[in-house]
Amino acid sequence: MLKQKLKNHTLILASGSPRRQDFFKDLDLEFKIEVKPVEEVFPLHLKRSEITDHLSKLKASVFTTLCEKDILITSDTIVWKDDQAIGKPKDKDEAAQMLRNLTGTTHEVYTSVTFTQKNDQRTVNDCTKVWFKELTNEEIDYYIKTYKPYDRAGSYGIQDWIGYIGVEKIEGCFFNVMGLPTRLVYKTLLELAEN
């Protein structure tokens, strides 16, 4: 359905994330992948979705030659807790520290998606609250050793083992925690296709 409406457009997904790529396949969309390196830094005064909005636009800024019918899609996800952004862990120790910080508490996951066309740009974002049970050190160590979650904000994937045993409840979009608020992406692409 949406694929048909977008048949005259070229979707460019600027993401190396296998999960985001799978989402676009599962949405039955034709797209190409093009990733350009960008230093993911943001002004320290930004909070919550201001950070992910900024970073998703920053990732789009390095694409300077879009054609008339191109739709470039960039995205960013962070975990927000204790009034600070938690990104991806650098190593095993940092991953363990992040998970110990999340255990037995609630945090928020923010994802922003920016849609850039030759003469237009719009950004949408979503927030999901996640409640974690008290995780033991053995559970944390097992998860890091087995799943190596170094490419994930907050050092976990809700769709992994840790989500099965550790997440008590969520409020909001499950797929947003995985890195893409799929219903917002679908809705926005539908609007762009009809313009």
pLDDT tens for each residue of 75-127: 999 999 999 999 899 999 999 999 999 999 999 999 999 999 999 999 999 99
Query: Active-site residue 126, yes or no?
Result: no
Terminal-to-terminal C-alpha distance of the chain: 16
Radius of gyration of the chain (CA): 17
Give this prediction's pTM. Answer: 0.95
Catalytic residue among 28, 76, 82, 141: 76
Average pLDDT, stretch 22-26? 95
What is 2-194's CATH number, 1.10.1370.30, 1.50.10.20, 3.90.950.10, 3.30.300.130? 3.90.950.10
Choose among 27, 53, 157: nearest CA to 13: 27
Residue boundaries of the structural domains of the chain: 2-194
Q: At residue 195, does pLDDT exceed 80?
A: no
Give the C-alpha separation, 64 to 23, whole Å: 26
Backbone phi, psi, residue 184, to 5°? -70, -35
Tokens of 91: 């190593």
Average pLDDT, stretch 175-181? 96
Give the C-alpha separation, 189 to 167, whole Å: 31
